[in-house]
Amino acid sequence: MTIFFKDNQPFVEGVCINDLINSQATPFYIYSQEAITATYHKLKKALSSEIFFSVKANSNQAILKLMQSLGAGADTVSVGELERAVHAGFDPSKIIFEGVGKSQQDIEFAIQHNIRLINVESLEELQLINQLGQSLNKIINISVRLNPDIDGLTLDKISTGKKTDKFGITLDQLTEVIQLVQSSHHVNLKGISCHIGSQIYDIAIFEKVFTRMKKTASLILSYNIQINYVDLGGGFGVNYDDKTNELDITSINKLVQSTFDKEPYEISFEPGRYLIARAGIIITKILTRKKNGGIHYLITDAGMQTLIRPALYNIVHRVTALQNNSVHNDVYTVAGPICESSDIIAKDISLPDQQMGNHLVIHDTGAYGAVMASNYNSRGFPAEILIHK
């Protein structure tokens, strides 16, 4: 998202940020509809595959309605997300329900709404779905989320494709899955999927995933089970610090074409972060300044209750100042108001001299930001504003 200044006033898509500050208590999120739309079209054009937006990245209802209007499907991981997708207007045939922990009530809700697929993540879940189909006298379309035992070389906390991770069904159980499907009369195996983690930049890792998924699909087809969908997940790396090379999406598409050419099933992806991370910012106010042990602190009203990622993942988000007309810079550590020593947003960053009451911008917070916010210390939840021309 681009912030530009006119007469020392900051603007996003023609909207003055100071006007928003005057009408909305900080901290709050701003999302750019223009940026989201441009990124979606760029990805869609590059991939030439069906895209299911990963709702867990940002479940704001306005964002979901925008994604639906752009033509995306919805990838959901809870009944709450599934309800949001339905309310946002997604066609049931473009909704997928996955997640490692589904209750019977969750599965029943998905069945009632006739969504495209329920992604199965355990043998017991497969048995439960078949039992529910029997009691409802329905044949339930399912997909199997596979755990391909591939290391995405990402943070352990966002790794989902290694054999020891809790996600999916490992390949050594695949024969048992196939036998169970063949002996079950109320499930229809329509596809397979996988997702090995987030923030992946190495094309070689995607190549390994695609090759393994193709081999697995071929094995299932050899059992005379006609699958229609192969979901290759997401995980496309997003550059937060401008130091990492951007992922070449066109190379991903070339890899898809070379790997799956003439295969009898549709390819899809489920990106979340890639579509919206850089389309969001947080506006936060400096509550006070202080100096402890030689460290210049700016204490802001945004903290880990607003954006948990720095504390949880040690992720660095770029921070800039809205009031930046000072000719002198200082080195600051930006900290939130929460009673935790880990509530640090940014360390040792250079900013123009700042005063109490000034405002800062925390960049690239469109994904896994507000959706992970909490009411810790009873500070309340941040507002979210979608800007469009």
Q: Which fold has domain 98-271?
A: TIM Barrel (3.20.20)
How many DSSP H helices and E strands does the chain contain? 11, 20
Strand 295-300 and strand 266-269: pairing? unpaired
Give me the pLDDT at residue 161, please. 63
CA 178 to chain centre: 30
List of E strands, 148-294: 169-170, 187-193, 229-231, 266-269, 280-292
The SS3 call for residue 239 is: coil
Give me the catalytic one of 137, 292, 339, 378: 339
385 to 25, 205, 238, 242, 275: CA distances (angstroms): 12, 36, 22, 25, 17
Sketch the domain layout of the chain as residue ranges: 4-30+278-387, 98-271
Q: In what order do the strands lie in the sheet with 4-6?
A: 4-6, 9-12, 15-16
Supply the DSSP symbol for 100.
S
Q: Is 339 one of the annotated active-site residues of the chain? A: yes
Asked if residue 50 has pLDDT above 60, the reply is yes
Percent of the residues in the chain that have a pLDDT greater than 70, as a whole number: 96
Q: Does domain 4-30+278-387 have CATH number 2.60.90.10?
A: no
Please name the residue that has the structure tokens 């799956």: 260
| Cα 389 from Cα 380, distance rounded (Å) | 29
Whether the CB-CB separation of 273 and 367 falls below 8 Å is answered with yes
User: Mind listing the pLDDT tens digit for each residue in 280-310?
Assistant: 999 999 999 999 999 999 999 999 999 999 9
More confidently predicted of 40 and 248:
40
101-156 confidence digits (pLDDT tens): 999 999 999 999 999 999 999 999 999 999 999 999 999 999 999 988 887 556 56
Are the folds of 4-30+278-387 and 98-271 the same? Answer: no
Are the CB atoms for 345 and 319 separated by under 8 Å? yes
Q: Give the pLDDT mean for 168-174.
A: 90
276 phi and psi, to 5 degrees? -130, -10
**CA Rg, the chain, in Å?**
23
